[in-house]
């Protein structure tokens, strides 16, 4: 297998972008203003695939270690299913989240287009994609780090003030939580009289 100079340059560029979005997001987002949707997904999907492959291996290993009769022989199939599922959910989730966040960005003055919000979400997911397989504190650290990078992306790509960018992302998170809480409370309230 022959590796060309352009392949090495692409890999170095991806590593540089990972470092940039993780540690200097303002500078990296400023440099990505002209990126297309295709550029964003050419960055996001390979990182998602690497995360999916690592998690698929973990799923396969766990199923094999458990040694459950009748299930262990399906470990490779479960791993492959996890791989495909993670990629599918990752792509759909990125698009859904981008549209939802964009509604709030638009309402708060962001007028640079949905593509910029998609880039903020896909590039902002870098810490989760890179650290998503590490157990322990990274279950909390990576999402918070990604959230901060997304806010930075919204601010830079939509040229919003820090306050408006933070408010847009916080509203995008809080509104579904409030609705879910209200649904759960209503559902729970309907069971309380039945239990008495």
- Nearest Cα neighbor of 101 from 150, 145, 142 is 150
- What residues have CB less than 8 Å from 184, skipping those under 6 apart? none
Which pLDDT belongs to residue 139? 83
Which pLDDT belongs to residue 191? 78
pLDDT tens over the chain, length 196 residues:
566 555 555 566 889 999 999 999 999 999 999 999 999 999 999 999 999 999 999 999 998 888 877 788 888 999 999 999 999 999 999 999 999 999 999 999 999 999 999 999 999 999 999 998 888 867 899 999 999 999 999 999 999 999 999 999 999 999 999 999 999 999 888 877 666 6
72: phi then psi, degrees, rounded to nearest 5? -55, -35
Alpha helices in the chain (DSSP H): 5-23, 25-31, 37-66, 75-107, 114-124, 126-131, 138-157, 162-195
Which pLDDT belongs to residue 6? 55
Which pLDDT belongs to residue 194? 62
Beta-carbon neighbour count of residue 70 at 10 Å?
A: 6
Distance CA 172, CA 104 (A): 6
- Nearest Cα neighbor of 108 from 165, 48, 30, 36 is 165
Structure-block tokens of residue 131 = 């650290």
Which pLDDT belongs to residue 190? 82
End-to-end CA distance of the chain: 71
Which pLDDT belongs to residue 143? 94
Distance CA 147, CA 104 (A): 15
Which pLDDT belongs to residue 196? 61
Distance CA 55, CA 11 (A): 22
Distance CA 145, CA 151 (A): 10
Which pLDDT belongs to residue 135? 85
- Nearest Cα neighbor of 74 from 64, 66, 84 is 64
Which pLDDT belongs to residue 39? 95
Q: What angle do CA 67, 85, 98 make, to 5 degrees?
A: 145
Distance CA 101, CA 121 (A): 9
Distance CA 125, CA 119 (A): 10
């Amino acid at each position: 297998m022959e590796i060309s100079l352009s392949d090495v340059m692409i890999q170095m560029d991806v590593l540089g972008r990972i470092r940039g979005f993780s540690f200097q997001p303002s500078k990296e987002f400023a440099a990505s203003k002209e990126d297309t949707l295709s550029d964003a997904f050419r960055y996001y999907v390979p990182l998602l695939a690497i995360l999916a492959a690592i998690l698929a291996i973990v799923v396969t290993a766990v199923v094999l270690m458990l040694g459950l009769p009748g299930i262990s022989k399906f470990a490779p199939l479960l791993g492959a299913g996890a791989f495909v599922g993670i990629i599918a959910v990752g792509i759909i989730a990125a698009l859904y989240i981008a549209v939802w966040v964009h509604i709030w960005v638009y309402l708060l003055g962001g007028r640079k287009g949905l593509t910029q919000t998609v880039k903020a979400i896909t590039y902002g997911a870098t810490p989760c994609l890179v650290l998503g397989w590490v157990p322990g504190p990274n279950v909390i650290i990576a999402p918070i780090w990604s959230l901060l990078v997304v806010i930075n992306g919204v601010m830079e790509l939509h040229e919003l003030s820090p306050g408006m960018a933070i408010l847009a992302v916080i509203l995008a998170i809080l509104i579904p939580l409030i609705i879910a809480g209200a649904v759960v409370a209503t559902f729970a309230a309907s069971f309380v009289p039945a239990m008495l």
